[in-house]
Structure formats: C-alpha cells, structure tokens
C-alpha cells in the first residue's frame, strides 16, 4: 500500500468522523452535548485540513501519484 493510498484512507475516515460528530450535534437536544459535539467537529475539521495538506504535498512531491488521484 502506498503512502498516497494510506493518506487517502485516513482522510476519508477523518471526514467520516467529522460528519458523524456534526450529525450528533444536530440531533441531540442536550445543549452541553451539542456544544461538545460542535467543538469536537471543529477539531476534527482541523485534522481533515491537515491531512488534506499532507496529501496535496505528497502529490506535489511524487508526480507519479497524480495520475491515480
């Protein structure tokens, strides 16, 4: 498994977690839990952005991966 594939998988998983946290925040009636889910979702969004930046860097450094994007 290439680094590109591993980062793609991690990015997909991180995006899924972010979406779940956002959904939990929207569905809960408990205000404290809602705030907690929103905060966690924001933290996860930062992680997604960092993974995306790393993925873009790998594509830039390894041109052979661009065709697989």
CB–CB of 52/1 below 8 Å?
A: no
Per-residue pLDDT at 68 exceeds 60: no
* pLDDT tens readout for residues 16-51: 999 999 999 999 999 999 999 999 999 999 999 999
Domain ranges of the chain: 3-61
Cβ-in-10-Å burial (0-12, 13-18, 19+) of 59 comes to middle
pTM over 0.95: no
Q: Tokens 């939990």 belong to which residue?
A: 24
Cα gap 2→52, rounded to integer Å: 16
How many CB atoms within 10 Å of residue 65? Answer: 18
């Amino acid at each position: 498994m290439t680094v590109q594939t591993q980062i793609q998988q991690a990015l997909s998983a991180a995006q899924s977690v972010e979406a779940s946290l956002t959904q939990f925040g929207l569905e809960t009636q408990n205000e404290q839990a809602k705030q907690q889910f929103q905060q966690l979702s924001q933290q996860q969004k930062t992680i997604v952005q960092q993974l995306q930046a790393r993925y873009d860097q790998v594509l830039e450094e390894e041109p052979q991966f661009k065709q697989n994007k």
